[in-house]
Amino acid sequence: MNSTSVAVDSSLTVKRDTTATRKQVWDVIADGWTYSQWVVGNTRMRAVDPNWPAPGSVIHHTIGIWPMALNDETVVESCTPGEELVLLAKARPFGLARIALRLSDTSSGSRIEMAEVPVGG
């Protein structure tokens, strides 16, 4: 596990099994324009770095709804294609959150684990 990774057993971890293969799930994650569909609180995408999800790449999104909408960004800290994506999500002025997505095979498809941990401002 990468040193920047979030513990999978965090109390803020969600685990879901799906009949989709790990590759099918990764293909969705690897399309930065889908970020607002799988991260709670994001309402729209504004821009996606063409290198997404390479480490250091950035996506620009909007959190919340009017009149409390904030334009912000998320940066990729580490990426192991098909297995793990670690993000640093900014939610100014509230601070930062590290999000780790991990994929594993199951007998009928794959397991998606998503852990989120606040990391300060």
pLDDT tens-digit readout, 16-67: 999 999 999 999 999 998 888 877 777 788 889 999 999 999 999 887 777 8
| Residues β-bridged to residue 61 | 45, 72
Flag whether 115 is in a domain: yes
Number of domains the chain is built from: 1
Average pLDDT over residues 67-83: 90
* Average pLDDT value for residue range 92-101: 81
Amino acid present at 5 = S
DSSP class of residue 6 equals P
Residue 114 lies in a domain: yes
Does 47 fall in a domain?
A: no
Number of neighbouring beta carbons within 10 Å of residue 56 = 11
CA atoms within 13 A on the CB side of 115: 16
Share of the chain above pLDDT 90, in %: 48
| pLDDT computed for residue 6 by the predictor | 53
> By residue range, what is the domain housing residue 101?
1-24+80-121
Task: Pull the structure tokens for residue 9.
Answer: 């057993």
Mean per-residue pLDDT of the chain:
85
